[in-house]
Amino acid sequence: MEELNQTTVVEREPYDVIVIGAGAAGMMAAGTAARSGKRVLLLEKMEKSGRKVRITGKGRCNVTNARPAEEFLEHVRTNREFLKQAFAEFNNRATIRFFERMGVKLEIERGERVFPQSGKAWDIANALLEYCVESGVKILYETRVTEIMTLGGRVFGVRYRNKRGFERKEECSQVILCTGGVSYPATGSTGDGYSFAADLGHTIEPLRPSLTPLKTSHPQMKFLHGLLLKNIRATLYIDGEVAREEFGEIGFSERGIEGAVALRVSRDAVDALIDGKSVKLVVDMKPALDEETLQERIKREIASMEPTEFFGELMRRLMPKPLVMPLARELDIHSKNYISKTTDVEITRLIKTLKGLTFPITDYAPFEYAVTTAGGVSCEEVNPYTMESLKVRGLYFAGEVLDLDANTGGYNLQIAFSTGRLAGLLKQ
């Protein structure tokens, strides 16, 4: 009797959870879900995970900020109340413990900013990836999700195109959307999640760059590229009224006015420019001195100089050398005028400029240069205690795809970790 060849077909168990996007929030969510015993599939359209994490903080990765909870939350610019529950579940201290348990040594720097001791953002991205792998997460790279499938108001799977270009679908009962925003699109943040959410009935709050360089029409701007000013005070004016004041450092480049101070005020500046309001940034380069005290100092400097020394030498005593020529043009005073010929009117102009160098803000840098995205999935349509959609059962959100953003200084990555952890718990 001829023996029959038989093939045994083994059906694979369906995934419990599919996480879309292997960034900071996605990896935290996927690892958390897998640790609780869920079968988890993580889909990433890029060729590796954590692309944005690997470049954040100029390649050093400002992981979080170590400020006390109350102070931390003050730096969240949008939907602070919504974030409170996720932050309480997994706060900045928990983040520090998480990475140290994963073998990444951290250190706290000025402004309570937390960085890996190695100075390498890759250590953070690799720790998150290791967390997923050790927890049993299945990861597919170069895989682009095309649809979140729903039936009767709840999730039942996703459709995607794999790296070979074939359409596939996977069924599951829960999907966590962690696709990021639209800042740094080269890292894969191209706004896919907003389309998915909108297709499923969610409101998308208007998107705009946040923590982005500001453009100015100041005539001396081209001479300031590469300059970094420390310990200055910057005041943002909108329609002539003080809108925000910051102290710290400010920089200048071909992208515009940047540095921590400029990025912090950019959120308000961008919104004002979109609304058609007038915006200016006034920089006080001598915030520790009032005008009278500064005038006395200048008098002492002049008294110590030879009559045949130039006005430019006085300026060099008061400001960084690269500022001398641009500010001489701003003051309309030749830097090689003899100090003995300097008038009281010119000294007054110098003082006014040192205390109030004014940059009209005309535009802002695009998403390619923005640290994060303002706007996104409306938090009013998401349960803050679970991160689950209030419109579609089984759909969860985490990270930059939500309408959550904060100041520079480690706050935005913490938002990703906190919301990712809470979403990964899959509370119903």
Side-chain-facing half-sphere of 210: CA atoms under 13 Å: 23
Residue type, 166: F
- Which residue(s) pair with 17 in the sheet? 40, 174
**Nearest CA-CA partner of 179 in 381, 418, 400:** 400
Q: Please list the rounded mean pLDDT of every run of 10 residues in the chain (428 residues).
A: 42 88 98 97 96 91 96 96 97 98 97 96 97 97 97 96 93 97 86 96 96 95 93 97 96 94 95 97 96 94 91 92 90 88 91 96 95 96 98 98 96 98 93
**In sequence order, which residues have a C-beta less than 8 Å from that of residue 362 and are 6 or more positions away?**
215, 216, 217, 273
**Nearest CA-CA partner of 173 in 197, 149, 193, 141:** 149
Domains of the chain: 17-208+372-424 (3.50.50.60), 213-365 (no CATH)
Distance CA 404, CA 76 (A): 8
What are the distances in angstroms from CA 416 to CA 15, 125, 180, 195, 406? 23, 13, 9, 20, 11
The per-residue pLDDT for 1 is 39
Residue type, 395: L
The per-residue pLDDT for 6 is 45
Contact (Cβ atoms closer than 8 angstroms) between residue 124 and residue 104: yes
Distance CA 419, CA 401 (A): 11
The per-residue pLDDT for 11 is 57
**Nearest CA-CA partner of 181 in 215, 155, 206, 199:** 206
The per-residue pLDDT for 248 is 94
Contact (Cβ atoms closer than 8 angstroms) between residue 346 and residue 333: yes
Sign for the pseudo-dihedral over CA of 180, 183, 186, 187: negative
The per-residue pLDDT for 428 is 72
| Chain Cα centroid distance, residue 337 | 46
**Nearest CA-CA partner of 127 in 40, 31, 37:** 31
Distance CA 248, CA 65 (A): 17
Residue whose tokens read 């803000």: 361
Contact (Cβ atoms closer than 8 angstroms) between residue 393 and residue 367: no
Q: What token pair was written down for 67?
A: 């400020």
The per-residue pLDDT for 88 is 97
Would you mind telling me the total number of residues written for the chain in this entry? 428
Q: What token pair was written down for 315?
A: 């300026």
Distance CA 317, CA 296 (A): 14
Q: What token pair was written down for 92?
A: 């900045």
Distance CA 368, CA 279 (A): 22
Give 291-303 as a DSSP string.
Answer: HHHHHHHHHHHHH
The per-residue pLDDT for 12 is 67
